[in-house]
Amino acid sequence: MAETVLDVEALSVTLDTPSGPLAAVHHVSFALERGQSLGIVGESGSGKSMTALALMNLLPRSATRQATRLRLLDHDLTALPDRRFAQDLAGQRIGMIFQEPMTSLNPVYTIGRQLTEGVVRTGQMDAAAARRRALEMMARVGLPDPATRFDQYPHQFSGGQRQRVMIAMALMAEPDVIIADEPTTALDVTVQAQILRLMADLQRDLGMAMILITHDLGVVAQTVDRVAVMYAGEFVETGQVAQVLGAPRHPYTAALLHAAPEPDGARHRLAAIPGQIRPVYGQRSACVFENRCAHATPDCRAGHPGLRAAAPGHAYRCVLPPQPRPAAVQPQPTGQPRDVGSAPPVISLTGVSRVFASRATPFHRPHSLRAVDRVDLDVLPGETFALVGESGSGKSTLARMLLGLDTPSEGEIRIDGQPVSALQGVDRARRIQPVFQDPYSSLNPRRRIGEIIAQPMALHGLGSAAERSQAVEEVMARVGLPEAFRHNYPNQLSGGQRQRVAIARALILRPEILVCDEPTSALDVSVQAQILNLLADLKAEIGLTLFLITHDIGVVHQIADRVAVMQAGRIVERGPAARVLHSPAEAYTRTLLAAVPSIARALATGAQERGQPDGH
């Protein structure tokens, strides 16, 4: 039996909030042996970060930590003053990598200084030795030309490179435990794949214990040995990856798996989880998932369910016996089949380019950048056309031009046969409407939901007050928003509800085309499923044409008819979604597809690839 490096029993974190004590983490227990990795998955707000911060002594001032046992190596963290923890353990025995690579490095100091200061501070190395070690680690994490980059500043690195720097920094002192909180969430899939592989390699080579926190089941499936599913502050299911993801026993785990679009599987309607996570204040007297659970019975409200064993090493917190929990599979509605051959395209791009000339500033020479490069594209009425590519490939610039928010430098965009430039005001608004990525920033926080949805009508002076009110009511029903929300403000709604509001606003003028720029990337899987289902329904019911921009292959697989792959401003491959996803012709498309974490693939190859020496 390997040495236990981290031993946690009944860890709780309570936050002092205006509405009372919030149990952000509740009775979390686990132990990690040297060389072992644990994944913590759950939707946002489930308490994953609080768990990590509690282990790192980084909790906010308003939080209190309790645990019956909290041991790191032979140190009892419950009794150790923070000064001593900072002095002897932080960064040395336990290190952390954060989600936001763009802001987690100090902008005014060099990478070299930030890499070396930790080991120099504690006297583990002198400056020269620390520099040598930093150069070594930089090379190890795949940063080119370490000697030069050592003296550069964070803004001179890309997001992926900064995350490599963060990893190198966390590894400088060869910690026994490393915690990574959503280390790849802010990165492109191809970069994510590289970073995850790097972390898995390093963890194995250096024999560290690792905690990987993520909301992405695919990511845990391919990177860790064991997984804990977190919900409302508690671990609701724990076990080997193959056990938890392959034979889920808790209804929440099963529901999460059913809600995630699986790019390798057959297309079916996603089983969305209704409702949203409910924060728990004070005592837990019922199952925390009870308000969303499809299997809930009065028993579930009678008391807080204890952990039960499903198999050796596999436990779940639910009153139900250990049985499989299949989802009800429904076919995705497709609407009436369309005569694709004869219909003229609703959107047609010919030789469209957008060149950005940066102006000369004190620090930059002027240069020009082809964000969109000679793109030809036709979108047919009633189809869902997906444009995929990594960040910076030109997707959003193209969308802006479609919406008339930007003008092509060359080429022409036609909608319904008319040049976009000739379509003004109501004419354009009635044909094409946007839905943006972030439902938190795209809605005016000071307007009521009803006003927000009616805004396009008000903007173009359409309809009387009564007609607008009628239209709002109809469109809210269409997108599945309760009528009562009319008088609420955006901050009273959840992320998924806000995105419904954004869609309702886009639909109120009955446009033919919806341009959705990453419509679900700010949402949790369970909510993403609701929105994708809604889009599929709208397409089937009212024959909407969807122009979908995304970096998420799962989303494409779920609802797209045709797909175009964009790289550096150009369309490198296009075709029917099924064909492009299953037999891609271009190398770039293949790279993109291979980078997408797939649970099925990971489970199939996982066990032998991860190589578990003592078969725990």
* Interface with ligand SF4 (CB under 6 A): 251, 287, 289-290, 293, 295-296, 300, 305, 318-320
Residue 29 backbone phi and psi in degrees, to 5? -130, 135
Residues 6+ away with beta carbon under 8 Å from 389: 395, 551, 565, 566, 567, 592
CB-CB contact of 7 with 78 (8 Å)? no
Q: Which is nearer to ligand SF4, 319 or 568 (CB)?
A: 319
If binding is defined by CB under 6 A, does position 62 make contact with ligand ADP?
A: yes
Q: Compute the least distance from the CB of residue 92 to another protein, in Å.
A: 7
The residue (of 284 and 295) whose beta carbon lies closer to ligand SF4 is 295
One-character DSSP codes across 163-221: HHHHHHHHHTT--SEEEEESTTTTS-HHHHHHHHHHHHHHHHHHT-EEEEEES-HHHHH
Is the CB of 84 or the CB of 197 nearer to another protein? 84
Note the maximum CA span of the chain. 76
User: Which of 238, 215, 243, 216 is closest to 227 using CA atoms?
Assistant: 238
Interface residues with another protein (CB under 8 A) are 56, 58, 82-83, 86-87, 89-92, 95-96, 98, 100, 103-110, 117-118, 121-122, 153, 155-156, 166, 169-170, 362-364
Question: Using CB under 6 A, which of the segments 47-55, 69-77, 83-91, 288-296 binds ligand ADP?
Answer: 47-55
325 makes contact with ligand ADP (CB under 6 A): no
**Can you name the residues that pair with 410 across neighbouring β-strands?**
353
**Which lies closer to another protein via its Cβ, residue 90 or residue 402?**
90
Burial class (CB in 10 A: 0-12, 13-18, 19+), 601: middle
Considering only 46, 49, 203, 276, the residue that binds Mg ion (CB under 5 A) is 49
The amino acid that residue 258 corresponds to is H
Binding span for Mg ion by CB under 5 A among 43-51, 142-150, 306-314, 431-439: 43-51
Query: C-beta of 57: minimal distance to another protein in Å?
Result: 8
In the list 14, 36, 37, 49, the residue contacting ligand ADP (rule: CB under 6 A) is 49
Which residue number, 81 or 326, has a Cβ lying nearer to ligand SF4? 326
The C-alpha atoms of residue 333 and residue 229 are separated, in whole angstroms, by 31
Q: Computed over its alpha carbons, how large is the radius of gyration of the chain?
A: 26
Three-state DSSP state, 281? strand
Residue 484 DSSP one-character state:
G
- Out of ligand SF4, ligand ADP, Mg ion, none, what residue 218 binds, judged by CB under 5 to 8 A for its kind, is none
Which partner from the list ligand SF4, Mg ion, another protein, none does 49 bind, CB cut-off 5 to 8 Å by kind? Mg ion
Which residue, 292 or 486, is less far from ligand SF4 as judged by CB?
Answer: 292
The one-letter code for the residue type at 569 is: G
Residue with structure tokens 């390093």? Answer: 202
Q: Does 51 bind Mg ion (CB under 5 A)?
A: no
Does 240 help bind ligand ADP (rule: CB under 6 A)?
Answer: no
* 116 versus 353: smaller Cβ distance to another protein: 116
H or E stretch covering 138: helix 127-140
What's the min distance (Å) between Cβ of 53 and ligand ADP?
7
Q: Pick the binder of ligand ADP from 6, 11, 41, 50 (CB under 6 A).
A: 50
Return the number of the residue (248 or 305) whose C-beta is nearest ligand SF4. 305
Distance in angstroms (rounded) separating the CA atoms of residues 311 and 322: 9
Judged by CB under 5 A, how many residues of this single chain contact Mg ion? Answer: 1
What's the gap between Cα 510 and its chain centre? 30
Cβ nearer to ligand SF4, comparing 97 with 288 = 288
Position 191 contacts ligand ADP (CB under 6 A): no
Which residues, 439 to 498, sit near ligand ADP by CB under 6 A?
none
- Which partner, Mg ion, ligand ADP, ligand SF4, none, binds residue 251 by CB below 5 to 8 Å per kind? ligand SF4
Strand intervals (E) in 539-609: 545-550, 562-567, 570-576
Q: Which is nearer to another protein, 89 or 241 (CB)?
A: 89
Least Å from the CB of residue 253 to ligand ADP: 15
- Taking CB atoms, the residue at the shortest distance from ligand ADP is 49
What CA–CA distance (Å, rounded) separates 3 from 208?
A: 11
Whether 38 contacts 31, CB under 8 Å:
no
Cα–Cα distance measured from residue 460 to residue 420, given in angstroms and rounded to the nearest whole number: 18
263-282 binders of ligand ADP (CB under 6 A): 279
- How, if at all, do strands 384-388 and 545-550 pair? parallel
Q: Which residues have CB under 8 Å from 611's CB, separation 6+?
A: none
Residue ranges binding Mg ion (CB under 5 A):
49
